[in-house]
Structure 1
């Protein structure tokens, strides 16, 4: 089989969830000893995180805007390559495609009613683009892949997709996330504290940053230790806005906010952290939960959407709309050593159910079923 895989953003420096999913699956494909050829179609970028191999070829395509790249340059490139199938990995795809199309539809959050507008023009434009394109391409797909049973059901019910057209394939996590000795030189790049609480968020309202900060303020009021909070991916001006909104500006001295944290440093930070906060309002999967668990770090997450499905029944599940529940979970971990050890052991066992190798094998089965 000659398989084209759209991975437009994987060479960009500040990668996020969908970029890493595509990158990790491609790396697994490179390990396979088969007769398939994989053509990875990307946009130019400074982070050359993937190299060609005997079965994998990188095809760089330049275009001034993402819509033109996807709707014009991508299908023309696919036609030129003469491949058997195109797999688009990041929620959208070209409206015209010369070969059978597989789409990874990570979520349809953008098809649901919004409580808040996005805080950046880029996010706002992406929201409208997905709403325009996705409903029009789904009927043209030979297979739709999503990342959890929760999201699979949401997509089928919301967009009236036939059950046989869509399948849930779980994500994995990178093997460099594991228990390891903490490299203090890496930790000191982001915080001067030896142990801290870790929150990985962004400006998307679903990440629940305001309530997380409110929960942390409640934790500080009751904790005898008062561990600091390390916040990834949020700029100081946005944090200031949230602190003023929640009337908790007094906690700012307990916060560290270095901005974007490189993926290569995350494993060290998970290992160094006391607990990982992931109280999102809505997730289709939640790879950071697996990464933290694999590093032996207890995870506090939400009882909503796909998070219970991924974290499992033995995890700490809270109501993300109630900051007091988040704070109480932190205090329980802090005050009860046996509970902390139980959560650490649970997470290390839970992550054994997920791997990129399993994800890759299911993708190959899908490709074969379409082409043969």
Structure 2
């Protein structure tokens, strides 16, 4: 079975390392897993960022064999660009300047080679819209992964640009196409908002990468990571890892934390917020500034490197993720895989991920969030029980299951 997989996301992430979260991790695992499958004849494509995608596949994933389904002249241009780029330090000013110059002359969209399209059974786009030129090839089955439809259902949480991209994904799906959804919740949204029928939608749960997210048991490594991000070692902390934006409901986490420590007069507890600033993040920092009595106990680290995440998770007393809406919810799964008790929202996809292994709360109920924090802070045996449940729950989600379900679905639709 011949499959073309779009890996444009890997090209976008090659030069922008802070974007290597969420969807990037999914596509990286998908590319590596499908390339190792004996049941597929795999070809990559990258309608966007072709040179960077080639470089990421060849250098980072160490895949020199899987071909790209593009015209030879475009692949040659990409290879020449990559050879020149190797002469500059990664993301240095000269490299960025050269990339800007090249962007003026290279095509915005890289065309697929017609001969390779004609011979393929399936085209899979794991994030971007299905390319329009594929509509003239009735012999190839097209499937797109829908990670969430939150920008369409809740546009007030997003900028226009993000909303526009997700809308294009939905618009690119014809009734004859197929879709992966990463949760039953997202599948229900897609059935509501598109013309595709339920029987053409396949749910495939994600996983957390075991080489990044694991229970760190060496105190020295945890201590080193905490020092790196200026997290006080002497005090326990509740942790939240997410993009700092309204949808993630971080301001409610802050208020719940403040209520807890003030009402219970807790002197030794901190709140650690890890993540980059997202759209409309000002409200979160206003909330921190307003928490005058405990402001110095709310630590905002910014982006954290992959190599430090297991230690930051493992060092936490609990992980708090009370997002208003999610398509899947990787951070709670990452936390569970590190053996950390989880407090999460009881909405959208999060109950599918957390199950009965954590404490589920209404995200707008700050008293419930504070009470969940109180239970974990005051009851060591309860923490141990939740930690064990987290590890057991996380074992249900693996990348091998994800890859196997992907290949199985290809076989069903081809």
Q: State if a TM-score over 0.5 links the two structures.
A: yes
**Match of residue 92 from structure 2:** none
Q: Give the C-alpha shift of residue 164 in structure 1.
A: 1.2
Please give the alpha-carbon distance, in whole angstroms, between the structure 2 residues aligned to 1:226 and 1:156: 48
SS of equivalent residue, structure 1 residue 199:
strand
Change in 2 beyond 3 A, CA 1:236/1:315 = closer
Q: Does 1:26 align with 2:31?
A: yes
Change in 2 beyond 3 A, CA 1:95/1:189 = same
Match of 1:185 among 224, 230, 234: 224
Q: Does 1:364 align with 2:407?
A: yes
Change in 2 beyond 3 A, CA 1:52/1:234 = closer
Unaligned runs of 5+ in 2: 82-101
Q: Does 1:90 align with 2:161?
A: no
**Match of residue 366 from structure 2:** 323
Q: Give the C-alpha shift of residue 249 in structure 1.
A: 4.1
**Match of residue 95 from structure 2:** none
Match of 1:242 among 252, 260, 284: 284
Match of 1:196 among 222, 237, 240: 237
Q: Does 1:173 align with 2:208?
A: yes
SS of equivalent residue, structure 1 residue 342:
helix
CA contact 1:2–1:36 (8 Å) conserved in 2: yes
**Match of residue 341 from structure 2:** 298
Q: Give the C-alpha shift of residue 204 in structure 1.
A: 3.2
Q: Give the C-alpha shift of residue 34 in structure 1.
A: 4.1
SS of equivalent residue, structure 1 residue 139:
coil
Match of 2:152 among 111, 116, 139: 111
Please give the alpha-carbon distance, in whole angstroms, between the structure 1 residues aligned to 2:265 and 2:68: 54
Match of 1:161 among 196, 202, 213: 196
Q: Give the C-alpha shift of residue 258 in structure 1.
A: 2.1
SS of equivalent residue, structure 2 residue 132:
coil
CA contact 1:190–1:256 (8 Å) conserved in 2: no
Q: Give the C-alpha shift of residue 142 in structure 1.
A: 2.7
Q: Does 1:13 align with 2:17?
A: yes
Match of 1:349 among 373, 392, 400: 392
Please give the alpha-carbon distance, in whole angstroms, between the structure 2 residues aligned to 1:201 and 1:93: 28
Q: Give the C-alpha shift of residue 357 in structure 1.
A: 0.4
Q: Does 1:150 align with 2:185?
A: yes
SS of equivalent residue, structure 2 residue 5:
strand
Q: Does 1:51 align with 2:93?
A: no
CA contact 2:5–2:124 (8 Å) conserved in 1: yes
CA contact 1:215–1:327 (8 Å) conserved in 2: yes
CA contact 1:212–1:279 (8 Å) conserved in 2: yes
Root-mean-square deviation (CA, aligned residues, Å) is: 2.9
Unaligned runs of 5+ in 1: none
Give the TM-score taking structure 1 as reference length. 0.86
Q: Give the C-alpha shift of residue 203 in structure 1.
A: 3.6
CA contact 1:271–1:295 (8 Å) conserved in 2: yes
CA contact 2:144–2:179 (8 Å) conserved in 1: yes
Give the TM-score taking structure 2 as reference length. 0.78
Change in 2 beyond 3 A, CA 1:95/1:57 = closer
Of 175-184 and 45-54, the range deviating more from structure 2: 45-54
